[in-house]
A and B are shown apart, each in its own frame.
Chain A
Amino acid sequence: MSDEPEAAVVKRFLYVNRKAPHGTVYALEVLEMVLIAAMFDQDVHVAFIDDGVYQVKKGQTPGALEMKDFSKTYRALEGYGVEKLFVEQESLTERGLTQDDLLVPAEVISRAQMATLMNSMDVVLSA
């Protein structure tokens, strides 16, 4: 009999952000899901596509909307072991943005690569 604990299951999780940071609550509550999955030591990936790319745009000042500037949290994700961030190139280009506009170090990948990434996951949660 081994005293080793049974190896915990680690799944590949992908959280897909598709919506602008403000206007709806989706972005904020996805962040809460991401942090919890990280606490469970899962292999967490976070993607930003469509208007979701605005979530990681520099220079957000949502105070006038009486909203918290939770964009800071994306920079703190690294401290929770969440380092695999992906931004879709086409979504940036369509919105006149480039990698220089992003407030986090993220890997910019093509739409086709995003599809491959999604396909390689065990669990994909989007909002």
Chain B
Amino acid sequence: MKFAILVNEGPFNHQAADSAYRFARAALDKGHEVLRVFFYYDGVLNGNKHSAPPSDDRNIVARWSKLAADHSVDLAVCVAAGLRRGITEEVLAPGFRITGLGQLVESAIDADRTIVFGD
């Protein structure tokens, strides 16, 4: 099955970022396809390379980057939501890219299921 994933919450503040990651990982492990993970609202903060959690905590941003490296998952950060929150090209972690909301609609059209993680 082809999935599109929407992440609406920032890392650490809300479980949505963790759940979205675990869902994506589980789907890929089962042989499904993840067309795109789209980051909206505070979700754009998942792409901030300056995030530096304590070493005994999970590193949410690095985890996404590794997912992108391992499975070529497209990590798409909304430009408008990003600009509001200071997330621009210069601060993006590896594997993330800045794009428009149109790419969310496009992946929802192409996917069999669109799954939203948020409050």
Stretch of B61-69, B87-95, B104-112 lying at the A interface: B104-112
Answer whether residue B114 sits at the interface, using C-beta atoms and an 8 A cutoff: yes
Do A40 and B114 have beta carbons less than 8 Å apart?
Answer: no
CB distance from A102 to the nearest CB of B (A): 25
Chain A: which residue is nearest B8 at the CB level? A127
Contacts of B41 in A (CB 8 A): 25-26, 29, 127
How many angstroms from the CA of A9 to the CA of B105 in the assembled complex?
11
Which one of A31-39, A76-84, A92-100 is at the interface?
A: A31-39
Say yes or no: B101 contacts A32, CB within 8 Å: yes
Q: Number of residues in B with C-beta < 8 Å to the partner?
A: 18
Q: Which of the four size classes fits the interface of chain A?
A: 10 to 19
Judged by a CB distance under 8 angstroms, whether B37 is at the interface is no
Given A25-B41, A127-B8, A33:B109 Cβ within 8 A:
no
Q: When chains A and B are docked, how far (Å) is the Cα of A123 from the Cα of B81?
A: 21
Q: Which of A33-64 contact B (CB under 8 A)?
A: 33, 36-37, 39-40, 42
Residues of B within 8 A of A (CB): 6, 8, 40-41, 80-81, 100-102, 104-106, 108-109, 114, 116, 118-119
